Amino acid sequence: MARGHLKITENREELRVIPGVYGDPRTFEPVTDENGNFIRNTTAITAFDFYFSNGFGPYGADETIVFDGTTIRLREVSLGYDLPKKILDKTPFGSLRLSISGRNLWFKAPNFLEGLNFDPEVLAETADSNVQGFEYGSAPTTRRYGVNLSVTF
């Protein structure tokens, strides 16, 4: 997101307004007007400050960069056909099965930014690193196709 890979980061010259209200940096309390209403933020900042500051984007508040890891996926499909015994009677084969399969054929992470293509099952760090929940743009899981021929005599 901070490196400009997503469509939403395409316009790098446009100023951005962080959604929210003004706050007091000493007390971390919202600033209010004379009627006690929160004052909506209208201060525009550059794209660089938006993505690389402590206020928003990848280096900002957790609620702007933590996503629900729900995925919907087509994990595996396998289709096979056993030739009927009647066809195999005059052959040396006892059985013959032809099958095709595919793994990791499709997935959708509906709660991630469009174009992110994030797969929460892929580790960005090694399993022993004790780093959890970070994603550094790793590739999604491998898609695999296969054909299998099983014959008995």
Minimal CA–CA distance to 142: which of 121, 125, 124, 114? 121
Higher pLDDT, 57 or 145: 145
pTM: 0.56
Q: Are residues 108 and 128 in the same domain?
A: yes
| Structural domain that includes position 51 | 1-66
Q: Are residues 32 and 95 in the same domain?
A: no
| Final residue before a domain boundary, out of 66, 85, 112 | 66
Give the DSSP per-residue string, 77-114.
EEEEEEPPHHHHTTSS-SEEEEEEEEEEEEEE-TTSPT
Check whether 143 has a pLDDT greater than 80.
yes
Q: Are residues 73 and 62 in the same domain?
A: no
| Final residue before a domain boundary, out of 12, 42, 66 | 66
Identify the residue whose tokens are 């499709």.
106
pLDDT in tens, 3-21: 667 777 777 788 888 888 9
Q: What is the mean pLDDT of residues 106-118?
A: 79
Higher pLDDT, 68 or 82: 82
